[in-house]
Amino acid sequence: MAVTPAEVKKLRDKTLAGMLDCKNALVEANGDFAEAEKILKKKGLASADKRAGRSTDAGAIFTAVAGDTAAAIELNCETDFVAKNAVFSESGKKIAAYAAENKVAAVNDGVEELVKEAISVLKENMGVKKINTMEVSDSDCVVDYLHNNGQIGVMVKLSCDSAETAAKEEVKALGLDLALHAAAFNPAYLNRDKVDASYISEQEEIFKGQAANMDKPEKVIEGIIKGKLNKHLAQICFVDQAFVKNDKVSCAQACADVAKAVGGKVELVDYMYMMVGQEA
């Protein structure tokens, strides 16, 4: 008998078996959904009941750029063995590309469908834990870096004065160095403007407490507090951190140096850092 695509999809959503397997089971069961599910289970093709709820502690980060959107996703699975599988890797790349192409910032039906396709092949519970996106223009240079088999993923965006500047090898090399920097130091903020005012106030109170017993004039104390705060912000803000390739200059200065060398504008304006297992 003939079965509809909607019936096939319904059975697949329930069992996570392949589309063709679901279609054949429905035909064999003469359209009886419950019977078709039993057929799949007997053949070992139904997997949803057995895999749902299993811990997904392993995984990797995947990145993609499509049109005016860059995306990074965390795809999780049950074991490191599967996380290193070529099918898992291709699935992660496909989901990241889907997120970028469709400007998807959270798990939706399309993402879940792609995950189920991977589950049907790899036979492990899987899921997308996080999706991050950022806008990209023609004059932006976006560089990604995946560390330790994708356990850490970084994307860095450099804003340039033109597409020609963004395409220069010196700018791309800078972008990769900054991505390596972010992977190594995991800056908390892009710049000081991004730091929460409440956090700054909290740090000021801490430094005031540290300076309370100093036998110095009030203005000197204020200067000490300001100096401590500036030093702290320089440690947690990406643009102010000492550049990984040359700790004599900040990341912002490294951008300025490359901008001068290529005769254009190059500014670090955004980044994404993701690590497997890290809370969003």
Please say which residue of 136, 165, 183 terminates a domain: 136
The answer, yes or no, to whether residue 69 has pLDDT greater than 60, is yes
Domain that holds residue 21: 5-51
* Res 48: pLDDT: 47
191-215 tens-digit pLDDT = 999 999 999 899 888 888 887 777 7
Is the domain of 203 the same as that of 250? Answer: no
Q: Give 5 or 265, the one with higher predicted confidence.
A: 265
Is the domain of 189 the same as that of 218? Answer: no
Domain count, the chain: 4
Is residue 136 within 8 Å of 101, Cβ to Cβ? no
* Res 63: pLDDT: 98
Residue type, 247: D
Is the domain of 264 the same as that of 168? Answer: yes
Is the domain of 89 the same as that of 185? Answer: no
The answer, yes or no, to whether residue 17 has pLDDT greater than 80, is no
Quote the DSSP letter at residue 115: H
Residue 250 host element (H or E): strand 246-250
Measured CA to CA in angstroms, residue 23 lies from 2, 36, 253 at distances of 9, 9, 61
The answer to which of 36-45, 74-83, 127-136, 171-180 has the lowest mean pLDDT is 36-45
Is the domain of 11 the same as that of 82? Answer: no
Alpha helices in 131-217 (DSSP H): 163-166, 169-185, 197-211
Quote the DSSP letter at residue 237: B
CATH number of the domain residue 203 falls in: 1.10.286
When the pLDDT of each residue in the chain is averaged and rounded to a whole number, the result is 90
Is the domain of 258 the same as that of 270? Answer: yes
Is residue 158 within 8 Å of 268, Cβ to Cβ? yes
Is the domain of 232 the same as that of 242? Answer: no
* Res 241: pLDDT: 97
CATH number of the domain residue 74 falls in: 3.30.479.20
* Res 124: pLDDT: 86
Is the domain of 71 the same as that of 201? Answer: no
Is the domain of 113 the same as that of 185? Answer: no
